[in-house]
Amino acid sequence: MRKVVALLISFWAVAAFAQINDKEIVFDSEVYDFGTVKFGDQKINATFIFTNNSPIDFEIRDIKASCGCTVPSWPEHPIKPGKKGIISATFDPKNLAGEVDKTIEIFANYNVIMSKILTISGTILEPVQQDMSKIYPGQFGYLRQSKNTIAFGNITNTGSYTDKVVFINDYNLPLKFTGLLRSPEYVTYTMSKTVIEPGDTASISITVHADRVKDYGLINSDIVFKTNDKSFPLKAVKMAFFITEDFSQLSKKSLKKAPKLVVSQTEFEFGDMREGAKSSQSLTLTNTGKTPLKIYKVETHCGCTSVDLEESEIAAGETKTVQLTFDSIFVSGMAQKEVTLYTNDPNKHIVKLYVKANVLNIQ
C-alpha cells in the first residue's frame, strides 16, 4: 500500500511540473486579420482557438501584449488533453491609422520555447475629415500631437527602430520648438521643421538605437521637447518596448559553445504563511555549456520577492545555489508572483520563476 501511495505522489509531482511541446498546441490560426476598418472605429475583439493535442494539461500562466492598446484574456483553468480553448484580445484602434501589427505573447508550460507569439493585424483607413480631437489627441496647449506614446513592441539589441509623431499648430500665431528638456542616450530624432505656422504641421522622427540600451525586458521612457506654447510649453512623447538579446547572428560553432542554463525548478510553492512572515527556498543554477553563463538581470515584479543574485557569471560546468525569498508583508490572500532572469543562453535568454503563497491574516 505504501508503494502505491508513493507512486501516486511521484506521479502527481511529475504531472504538476509537466511541460508540453508547443507543436502539440494547435491554433486554428496564429494571426487574426481584422481586414480594413475606418478611422476611429469601435474596439476589435480578436479570438484565437486552439486544441490541446498533448497527453497532459495545457496551463497558460500569463499573456503580455505588445502595447497598452491590446488587452488579452485567457482560460484560468488548465485545458485538458483533446480539449479546445480560446484566447481573446481586445484591440482599441483609437487614434491609430495605417497598417497595424500588434502581438500578444503567451507564457505557458512549454518545454522547448519560452513563449509563443500571436498576431493581430489589419489596416485602419486614414481619417477623411480633419477632426482635430481625433487626429491630434494631445490636448495640452495649442501645439497638438498625433500620439503621446510610441509602442515599438518587441525589439532586439542590434537594430534601430523609428516612428514619428506629427504636431499641428492650432493657434493663430506661429509656434516653434525651442530645445530639448531630456532624452534617453539611446534616442535620436529629426524634425521636419522647427517653426510651425498656424494650421500647419511638423513631424518628428524618433529613433531608438537598441544597441545603446543597456538593459533587458520592458523599458518605459520619454523624450521631452521645449516649445513657446505658453499654455503648455513641454511636449512629451513616451516610448515603450520590450528588448531582448539578438542571437540570430551567432554561427553554428558559437551556438555549440554557448552557455546552457539548467534551473533546479521554476515553480516555488510556499503554502500557507502568516502575514508579515518571510520564507526562502533554494534555487540551483547550473551551466552545462562550454562558455561562461552571464546573468544580465534579475527582475522581480514586486517588492515581496527577491533573489540573492546580483549580475554575475557562472563558469562552464559550475553550479551556483541561491535563495529565492518571499516576504508576505503587505500581502494578503492567494499571491502569485514572478521573478525573471535574463541570461546569455540563446535557448534560455528569459527564464520565468513562479512564486505562489497563501497569506493568512491571523490576528
Q: How deeply is 18 buried, as exposed, middle or buried, from its count of CB atoms within 10 A (0-12, 13-18, 19+)?
A: middle
Give 102's contacts (C-beta < 8 A, 6+ positions apart): 65, 66, 67, 69, 70, 91, 119, 120, 121, 153
Please tell me the distance from the alpha carbon of residue 283 to that of residue 324, in angstroms, as a whole number: 7
Tell me whether strands 31-37 and 116-124 are parallel, antiparallel or unpaired: parallel
> Across residues 4-29, what is the average pLDDT?
64
Domains of the chain in start order, with CATH, are 25-124 (2.60.40.10), 132-244 (2.60.40.10), 252-360 (2.60.40.10)
- What pLDDT does residue 179 have? 95
Q: pLDDT, tens digit, for every residue of 157-211? A: 999 999 999 998 988 899 999 999 999 999 999 999 999 999 899 999 999 999 9
Please tell me the distance from the alpha carbon of residue 342 to that of residue 309, in angstroms, as a whole number: 12
Give yes or no for a contact between 3 and 41, defined as CB atoms under 8 angstroms apart.
no
pLDDT interval class at 220 (50, 70, 90): very high
- What pLDDT does residue 289 have? 96
Q: Record the cell numbers describing residue 84, joined without a space.
A: 479546445
Q: pLDDT, tens digit, for every residue of 246-283? A: 999 899 999 999 999 999 999 999 999 999 999 999 99
Identity of residue 358: N
Please tell me the distance from the alpha carbon of residue 18 to that of residue 24, in angstroms, as a whole number: 14
Give the percent of the chain with pLDDT over 90: 63
How far, CA to CA in Å, does 62 sit from each of 37, 75, 105, 106, 108?
29, 10, 8, 6, 7
